[in-house]
Amino acid sequence: MTEAEVMAVLATVNDPEIPVLSIVELGIVEQVRCRTDGVDVFLLPTFAGCPALELIRRAVVSALQAAGAPQVAVTFLTAPAWTTDRITQQGLDALSSFGIAAPGDAAPACPYCQSTQTRRESAFGPTLCRQVYYCDSCHQPFERMKPLTMAVKVR
């Protein structure tokens, strides 16, 4: 397999927390390395506390093995730190269509009506990665990815 083929397979592996987003769109694929007998994949862990890393690892291994890579090694790197800035534009669009506002510092625009009359309802969403917001314009709650710009530790 070539590295481009590996990336194409990884683009089909979705984030378990946000199924509309592939791990490539999420920006956690730091490097792939092709060997004659297999593939090394280097990923960046996203949110501290997200229990998704093992699920991601298993999904990557099975997707690549299904595509014909005999041996797949997945390594989570501790550096560089993953930040929400690494999410691709395609990923941000996918988030928005899933009803999740993109991370950022300013008040997020409502993914349903684009109003910026929004406020944070709760610091904790359904997962540690997300926050719940409320739109004062169309009266819909929505979620936003928690902005993350600091380093995360791997336990």
Question: Least separation, in Å, of the C-beta of 148 and Zn ion?
Answer: 24
* 81 vs 155: CA distance, rounded Å: 14
Which run of H or E residues covers position 56? helix 53-66
Which of 110, 129, 145, 148: binder of Zn ion (CB under 5 A)? 110
**Cβ of 90: how many Cβ atoms within 10 Å?**
13
**Which member of 73, 76, 115, 146 binds Zn ion (CB under 5 A)?**
115
Closer CB to Zn ion, 55 or 138, in the complex = 138
CA distance to 100, 122, 135, per residue, from 138 (Å): 15, 18, 6
The span from the CA of 108 to the CA of 125, in Å, is: 15
- Stretches 27-35, 44-52, 106-114, 124-132: which one binds Zn ion (CB under 5 A)? 106-114
Residues contacting 89, CB < 8 A, separation 6+: none
For position 137 contacting Zn ion by CB under 5 A, the verdict is: yes
| Interface with Zn ion (CB under 5 A), residue from 42, 76, 98, 112 | 112
Selected from 8, 55, 66, 138, the binder of Zn ion by CB under 5 A is 138
Binding site for Zn ion (CB under 5 A): 110, 112-113, 115, 135, 137-138
